[in-house]
Amino acid sequence: METTIATYIKELDQLYQTGITTEHSFRPALQRLLQDCTGYTVINEQSHIDCGAPDLTLLSKDLPIAYIEAKDLDDGDLDGRKKNREQFDRYEASLDTIIFTDYLDFHLYERGEWQQSVRLAEIQGNKIRLSDTPRFASLMEHLKAARPQRISSAKNLAQIMAGKARLLRDIIEQALMLDGDTPTELRGYMEAFRQVLIHDITPKQFADLYAQTITYGMFAARLHDQTPNDFTRSEAANLIPKSNPFLRKVFQQIAGYDLDERIAWIVDDLVSAFAASDMTKIMKGFGERTGQTDPILHFYENFLNEYDPELKKKLGVFYTPQPVVEFMVRAVDDILRTDFGLPMGLADTSRANGLPRVQILDPATGTGTFLAETVRQIKRNLGGQMGAWASYVPDHLLPRLHGFELMMAPYTIAHLKLDMEIQEAAASPQSHAQRLRVFLTNSLAEAAPDAGTLFGNYLAQEANEASKIKKSTPVMVVMGNPPYNVSSSNKGEWIGHLTDDYKRNLNERNIQPLSDDYIKFIRLAQHYIERIGEGIVAYISNNSFIDGIIHRQMRSELMRVFDKIYILDLHGNARKKETTPDGSKDENVFGIMQGVSINIFVKMPKKR
Cβ atoms of 529 and 573 within 8 Å: the answer is: no
| 433 and 522 part of one domain | yes
- 238 domain-assigned: yes
| Residue 76 neighbours by CB distance under 10 Å | 12
Distance separating alpha carbons of residues 408 and 209, to the nearest angstrom:
6
Give domain status of residue 508, yes or no. Answer: yes
Residues 6+ apart with CB under 8 A from 182: none
Alpha carbon distance 364, 49 (integer Å): 39
Are 291 and 364 part of one and the same domain?
no
User: What are the backbone angles phi and psi of residue 497, rounded to the nearest 5°?
Assistant: -65, -40
* Farthest CA pair distance, the chain: 99
CA 525 to CA 530: how far, in whole Å?
9
Q: DSSP letter at 264?
A: H
For β-strands 63-70 and 97-101, DSSP reports them as parallel
> Does residue 322 form part of some domain?
yes
Q: Tell me the C-alpha distance between 320 and 300, whole Å.
A: 14
Instruction: Give the residue from 83, 110, 144 where a domain finishes.
Output: 144
Same domain for 405 and 300, yes or no, is no
Structural domain that includes position 373: 315-603
Number of domains the chain is built from: 3
Task: Identify the helix (H) or strand (E) that includes residue 233.
Answer: helix 233-239
Q: Judge whether 608 lies within some domain.
A: no
In 3-state terms, what secondary structure has residue 405?
strand
Residue 246 CA to residue 463 CA, distance in Å, equals 11
CA 272 to chain centre: 19
CA 536 to chain centre: 30
Q: Residue 379 is part of a domain; what is its CATH number? A: 3.40.50.150
Strands (E), 227-348: none
Q: Identify whether 542 is part of a domain.
A: yes
Whether residue 292 is found in the same domain as residue 356: no
- Residues 150 and 133: their CA atoms lie apart, in Å, by 31
Per-block average pLDDT, block size 10, for the chain (608 residues)?
90 89 87 92 69 81 83 75 72 85 91 87 88 89 78 85 90 89 87 85 91 90 84 88 88 79 86 87 64 67 80 60 93 98 96 94 94 95 80 92 91 90 62 80 73 72 87 95 76 89 91 92 97 97 94 97 96 74 74 84 85
Please count the other Cβ atoms lying within 10 Å of the Cβ belonging to residue 385.
12
Q: What are the residues whose beta carbons fall under 8 Å from the beta carbon of 305, sequence distance 6 or more? A: 162
**Cα Rg for the chain, rounded, in angstroms?**
28
CA 469 to CA 17: how far, in whole Å?
Answer: 72
> For residues 404, 407, 409 and 415, what is the CA-based torsion angle, rounded to 10 degrees?
10
How many C-beta neighbours within 10 Å does residue 451 have?
21
Q: Are 135 and 158 contained in the same domain? A: no
Please check whether residue 164 is in contact with residue 272, taking contact to mean a CB–CB distance below 8 angstroms. Answer: no
569 and 421 both lie in a single domain? yes
Alpha carbon distances (Å) from 500 to 209, 339, 476, 519, 602:
32, 31, 23, 11, 22
User: What are the φ and ψ backbone dihedral angles of 383, each rounded to 5 degrees?
Assistant: 50, -115
Q: Are residues 259 and 375 in the same domain?
A: no
Closest CA to 417 of 283, 237, 313: 283
Q: Which CA distances in Å does 348 have to 205, 325, 395, 474, 607?
A: 41, 20, 12, 15, 18
Name the nearest CA neighbour of 467 among 412, 517, 404.
404
Provide the pLDDT for residue 567. 97
Q: Are residues 138 and 173 in the same domain?
A: no
| Helix residue ranges per DSSP H, 308-436 | 311-315, 322-338, 369-382, 389-392, 408-424
Say how far apart CA 472 and CA 532 lie, in whole Å: 10
Cβ neighbourhood burial of 343 (10 Å; 0-12, 13-18, 19+): exposed
What's the CATH code of the domain at 18? 3.90.1570
Would residue 13 be called left, alpha or beta, if left means φ above 0 and alpha means ψ between -120 and 50 degrees?
alpha
368: left (phi over 0), alpha (psi -120 to 50) or beta: left
| Three-class secondary structure of residue 171 per DSSP | helix
Question: Counting Cβ atoms within 10 Å, is residue 504 exposed (0-12), middle (13-18) or buried (19+)?
Answer: exposed
> What one-letter code names the amino acid at 112?
G
Domain boundary among 144, 175, 191: 144
- Inside any domain, residue 231: yes
- 490 with 518, same domain: the answer is yes
Q: Are residues 88 and 69 in the same domain?
A: yes
Pair 289, 323: CB distance under 8 Å: no
- Inside any domain, residue 268: yes
Helices (H), 19-132: 27-38, 46-50, 85-94
Last residue of a domain, one of 307, 331, 359: 307
Compute the distance between CA of residue 196 and CA of residue 467 in angstroms, rounded to an integer: 13
302 plus 340 within the same structural domain: no
Residues 534 and 572 in one domain: yes
CB atoms within 10 A of CB 273: 25
Cβ pair 577, 527 in contact under 8 A? no
Cα separation, 121 vs 17, in Å, equals 15
Does residue 351 contact residue 430 with C-beta atoms inside 8 Å?
A: no
Q: What is the per-residue pLDDT for 55?
A: 87
Q: Which helix (H) or strand (E) holds 602?
A: strand 596-603
Query: Does 331 map to a domain?
Result: yes
